[in-house]
Amino acid sequence: MAVLGAILGDIAGSRFEFKRPFRLDIQNCELFTKDCEFTDDTVMTLAVKKAVITRADLVKTMKEIGRHYPDCGYGESFAGGYWEKIQNLITVMATDPP
Which residue ranges are tagged as binding site?
39-41
Q: What is the pLDDT of residues 70-94, one digit of tens each?
A: 888 776 666 666 667 666 666 655 5
Q: What is the mean pLDDT of the chain?
A: 82
> What are the binding residues for Mg(2+)?
39-41
Taking 3-state DSSP, the helix, strand and coil percentages for the chain, each rounded to the nearest 5, stand at 55, 0, 45
Using alpha carbons, select from 16, 10, 85, 78 the residue that is nearest to residue 42: 10
pLDDT 10s digits, 24-37: 777 887 889 999 99
Residue type, 34: K
Closest by CA position to 69, among listed 46, 53, 51: 46
The pLDDT assigned to 70 comes to 82
